[in-house]
């Protein structure tokens, strides 16, 4: 594939990704996990068992880890929002990779153009 065709193909992929990033879904960062905790009541069953189950979301904000319990009615919504965030981040990584590939093509094009120019200068001197 020629350099121009390859660059155009990468550019088109990049444009599609950028469009999908700009048309993003609502999202929140974080991961959801079911954990267990003991309530502290000496007569509760959880004293000798694993503990009461609950679902929480954990995220980092300005370098500080935060955790919040999620009510049962909000679990599906929060799960969807965190999945949207992961998809968004994945697309951003893909854009970065495409940018690297496009840069590589331009570096190659620059080297080739310089080489072609030098060869042309040599022919003029003869």
Query: To the nearest whole percent, how much of the chain has pLDDT over 90?
Result: 71
pLDDT of residue 6: 87
Mean pLDDT of 89-105: 95
* Confidence category of residue 118, pLDDT binned at 50, 70, 90: confident
> What domain count does the chain have?
1
Distances (CA, A) of 5 to 84, 97, 101: 32, 18, 13
Global pTM value: 0.76
Degrees to nearest 5, angle at CA 116 with 113 and 120: 135
Q: What is the torsional sign of CA 103, 109, 114, 115?
A: positive
Pick from 2-6, 8-12, 70-74, 118-122: least confident: 118-122
* Contact (Cβ atoms closer than 8 angstroms) between residue 84 and residue 27: yes
Average of pLDDT values for 75-102? 96
- The model's pLDDT over 12-59, given as tens digits with 9 standing for 90+, comes to 999 999 999 999 899 999 999 999 999 989 999 988 888 999 999 999
Is pLDDT at 5 greater than 70 in this prediction? yes
Tell me what pLDDT residue 100 has: 95
Give helix 3-22 / helix 75-125 axis angle, nearest 10°.
Answer: 160
Over 90: is that where the pLDDT of 124 sits?
Answer: no
What's the domain range around 102?
3-125
Flag whether pLDDT at 80 surpasses 90: yes
């Amino acid at each position: 594939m020629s350099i121009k065709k390859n660059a155009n193909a990468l550019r088109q992929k990049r444009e599609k990704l950028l469009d999908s990033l700009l048309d993003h879904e609502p999202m929140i960062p974080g991961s959801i996990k079911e954990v267990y905790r003991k309530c502290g009541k000496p007569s509760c069953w959880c004293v000798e068992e694993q503990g009461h189950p609950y679902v929480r979301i954990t995220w980092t904000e300005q370098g500080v880890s935060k955790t919040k319990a999620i009510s049962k009615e909000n679990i599906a919504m929060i799960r969807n929002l965190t999945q949207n965030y992961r998809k968004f981040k994945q697309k951003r990584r893909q854009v970065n990779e495409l940018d690297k590939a496009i840069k590589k093509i331009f570096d190659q094009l620059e080297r080739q153009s310089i080489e072609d120019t030098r060869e042309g200068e040599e022919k003029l001197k003869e």
